[in-house]
Amino acid sequence: MSTAQPRTVIASYTSPGALLFFTIHAAALYALIAIAPSSTSLALCLGLFVIRKFGITGGYHRYFSHRSYKTSRPFQFVLAWLGGMAAQKGALWWAAHHRHHHQHSDQEEDIHSVKQQGFYWAHIGWILAPDYFSYDAKRVKDLTRFPELVWLDRWHFVPPAFTALACWLIDGKTGLFWGFCVSTVILYHTTFAINSFCHLLGRQRYLTGESSKNSLILALLTLGEGWHNNHHYYPHSARQGFYWWEIDLTYYALRALALTGLVRDIHEPSRKVIDSNHLGAEGVAQAP
Ligand SMILES: [Zn+2]
Ligand SMILES: [Zn+2]
């Protein structure tokens, strides 16, 4: 269980970031109850969900955290900006904590382990905890050598602020509440669900020594991130749906971007690696 002290808990709920986080939730709830969405605001909500989710899955996760493909320096900045629009802090902060999660999955040091600290902590608690406001720069040395990324990480509220302003300019109050707030809250919880639900619900294909699971429902909600057991088995792969029936929209988007030349050297495991080490195979324990 979490060992957070009362003072830490209070700080978790009263920091400027936490207050903004709860305000966006309150605004999204208000929109659902009191504001009829326009077709423009619904298009903004859906469009901004997909674009920003790709910024998180294709950018923050598969590029910055795992370096599973290559791209140019300008497009790298575009990816950091797109992920930043989701209001989940900067690419360096995100990648540093995520690399820590892979290194210590379900061990005592794991920052957001359902097994160690429970569902709430893994889903939201750790994000609000002052202990994790900063990040260990040593974990992202490959990224801190780009001053523009360090700048954007420091000023991580700039991309979401521009996004909110654009929604307001396009469709007024309805655009701001539905296009930005509702969409942002859905982005939050679908991203957080990978840390919580994907270590609880679903099936394990590979014996990875921790609790990651594969879930089609979560893969559909997160552009392919729900194949989390595959991912923990082979984190360096840009492709997380290992078989044709494992829908992975982020991977398809990366393949499409590769056709345009914007990204290259997309890393994938060999067929032999994918097909081996399945739970239930000879010599490997059957999953419970
Ligand atoms: Zn995980
Ligand atoms: Zn990962």
Domain ranges of the chain: 6-275
Ligand 2 centroid–CA 38 distance in Å is 36
pLDDT at 286 > cutoff 80: no
Closest CA to 82 of 49, 55, 46, 60: 55
> What is the reported pLDDT for 5?
62
pLDDT band (50, 70, 90) for residue 281: low
Ligand 2 centroid–CA 7 distance in Å is 31
Average pLDDT score over the chain: 94
pLDDT band (50, 70, 90) for residue 175: very high
Spatial separation of the C-alpha atoms in residues 7 and 86, rounded to whole Å: 29
pLDDT band (50, 70, 90) for residue 2: very low
Ligand 2 centroid–CA 26 distance in Å is 30
The alpha carbons of the chain give a radius of gyration, in whole angstroms, of 19
For the entire predicted model, the pTM comes to: 0.94
Predicted confidence (pLDDT) per residue in 23-65, tens digit: 999 999 999 999 999 999 999 999 999 999 999 999 999 999 9
Predicted confidence (pLDDT) per residue in 65-96, tens digit: 999 999 999 999 999 999 999 999 999 999 99
Spatial separation of the C-alpha atoms in residues 231 and 106, rounded to whole Å: 15
Spatial separation of the C-alpha atoms in residues 190 and 184, rounded to whole Å: 10
Ligand 2 centroid–CA 42 distance in Å is 30
Ligand 2 centroid–CA 214 distance in Å is 13
Ligand 1 centroid–CA 228 distance in Å is 6
